[in-house]
Structure 1
Amino acid sequence: MSPAMDDMLITKHTIHPGKEYIPLKQGTRVKFSFQTRKVDDGTLLDDSREMGQPMELVLGKKFKLEVWEVIVQKMALNEVAKFTVHKSLVTQYPFISKTLRDVSKKVEERRHCCEQPDEYEKERWQMNDEEKMNAQEDLREKGNRLYKEKKYKEAEECYRKAVGMIEQLMTKEKPHDVEWLALAAIKVPLLLNYAQCRLLDSDYYAVIEHCTEVLDLDKNNVKALYRRAKAHAGAWNPVDARNDFLKVAELDPALKAAVNKELLAIDAEQRKRNAEDKQRLQKLF
């Protein structure tokens, strides 16, 4: 993000000055409390105090939202400030907000009144790292089982929660270190499963976003390419769909027949759209 663009899109208002400003290096671990609100009416979206612990980031990770790192680096230790951010810098916030709201949920006891009082399901903010790893594995298995039973919405929720747990663990690691890469390898199949559920729900742009994230980690991931191609076709981005399908066939020749079928479907849809456009033009004269 260029300094000029930074000044144009981010406005800072200091509420309480902090201590001396010290520039932070990439890889620095920072903790901070925050609230996010809508600019138009001040509606509160998220509040870290409801999570029971401050937010923690490693600079350079970007937590899928680069602007948070930019904001943190503008502040002194113990400073309180308000930032107004252009909407173009927070396009991914709705997905992130879902993860944050999961953290803020109060503990719900999953028991009958006559059961043992310690039989309840821990919320994410109560778990240590080992418990989160175990929980995400349980969620993945449960999601797979629900998917096989064609309970796609329930499966999607399991995958989404599991992704959120892995992302929390990743914020504690330095990007591309051994530990971070190991967590990323766990995140990839979860994202692919989540994307498949969104594809079945025709949420094409969400599928494109999450498959692209997978491809940023694994550029030749055939499943990500195929699902992104299907999403591009559904959103009617025919050029992008063709490119992804052709890459799939190149990487996995066994899928050439399936790819050719998809390409023929794109050709047929293109002819249909061309004919409809021609008819509309004829009616104008």
Structure 2
Amino acid sequence: VRGFIGLFFFLWLLFLQVTFHFRTTLCDDDRTVIDDSKVVGTPMEIVIGNMFKLDIWETLLSSMRTGEVAEFWCDIIVSPSEYNRESWALSDEERLKAVPVLHGQGNKLYKQGRYQEATQKYKEAIICIKNVQTKEKAWDVPWLKLEKMANTLTLNYCQCLLRMEEYYEVIEHTSDIINQHPGAVKAFYLRGKAHMEVWNEAEARQDFSRVLDLNPGMKKAVKKELAVLSMRMEEKNQEDRDKYKGMF
């Protein structure tokens, strides 16, 4: 059954945070209500431009003005018996309770080699944390605890991306973490592996060196990665020599 979404957008905050109420109904004669944020008692909140954004809401809200009530028809199939509230429709308490569950589900999927599905679990957990985090004062103790949780999930997400060969995205996300938390050993290690895959030899060696500075106990793991890096760079250099030897 095709449905439409009615949105009431009532507040635009700094940092492009949007808070609004919504109602989702079927397009039957009775306009059967599937979900209503006012009944739940919790408005929806998103941060525009967040890397774990909900694109459909950003698209709809960008066409609205503050205080406007609008109705949108969504070309999707919704089964009332299968409908579940998404993480953004939960209360803050429910979101925080959902995080370890989603984290565990993501880890299980990762071990099963179902990396795409695992990324979705990690992303949903991160969204839960970020929605709660926006209500805390930056760098206060509660905010920092949430940040640590989000970083752990982001690094798990990056492990999946490595398996999926999304190396530049790994470099982007790990660099964001390193810029804020320069002691994040795992972020340097994953970024080093990503640099290695895209032939950034100097950057990879620099990251692995930083891993050893921060955690000498990872010497064996780093030594193994450096050996692979040296072998791969030698193979690449030989390929380049063979490719260009007849050109000059």
Residue equivalent to 1:182: 145
Q: Secondary structure at the match of 1:283?
A: coil
TM-score, normalised to structure 1, is 0.60
Gaps of 5+ in 2: 1-12, 21-36, 61-73
Q: Are the structure 2 counterparts of residues 31 and 241 from structure 1 closer, same or farther at C-alpha, using a change threshold of 3 Å?
A: closer
- Residues 73-114 of structure 1: CA distance to partner in whole angstroms, max 9, x if unpaired? xxxxxxxxxxxxxxxxxxxx7x344x34489899966847xx
Residue equivalent to 2:119: 156
CA distance in 2 between partners of 1:33 and 1:189 (Å): 27
The percent identity for this pair of structures is 34
Residue equivalent to 1:220: 183
Q: Are the structure 2 counterparts of residues 254 and 31 from structure 1 closer, same or farther at C-alpha, using a change threshold of 3 Å?
A: closer
- Residues 214-246 of structure 1: CA distance to partner in whole angstroms, max 9, x if unpaired? 223432222111111101101211111001111
For 2:229, the aligned partner's letter is: I
How far the C-alpha of 1:196 sits from its partner, in A, is 0.5
Root mean square deviation, CA, Å: 3.4
- 2:191·2:204 contact (CA, 8 Å) conserved in 1? yes
For 1:199, the aligned partner's letter is: L
Residue equivalent to 2:25: none
Residue equivalent to 2:198: 235
Gaps of 5+ in 1: 1-26, 35-50, 58-62, 66-92, 113-119
CA distance in 1 between partners of 2:118 and 2:57 (Å): 16
1:255 to 187, 210, 218: 218
Q: Are the structure 2 counterparts of residues 270 and 174 from structure 1 closer, same or farther at C-alpha, using a change threshold of 3 Å?
A: same
CA distance in 1 between partners of 2:95 and 2:233 (Å): 47
User: Residue 191 in 1 paired to residue 157 in 2?
Assistant: no
Any residues of structure 2 matched to 1:2-81 within 5 Å, and which? none
Q: Which deviates more from structure 2 when the two are superposed, residues 161-170 or residues 229-238?
A: 161-170
Q: How many residue pairs end up in the alignment? A: 201
- Residues 145-191 of structure 1: CA distance to partner in whole angstroms, max 9, x if unpaired? 22223322221110011112212222222321222212101111111
CA distance in 2 between partners of 1:227 and 1:155 (Å): 17
The structure whose residues are more often strand, as a share, is 2
Q: Are the structure 2 counterparts of residues 147 and 279 from structure 1 closer, same or farther at C-alpha, using a change threshold of 3 Å?
A: closer
1:144 to 107, 113, 117: 107
CA distance in 2 between partners of 1:226 and 1:254 (Å): 13
Q: Are the structure 2 counterparts of residues 175 and 107 from structure 1 closer, same or farther at C-alpha, using a change threshold of 3 Å?
A: farther
CA distance in 1 between partners of 2:101 and 2:146 (Å): 16
CA distance in 2 between partners of 1:255 and 1:167 (Å): 31
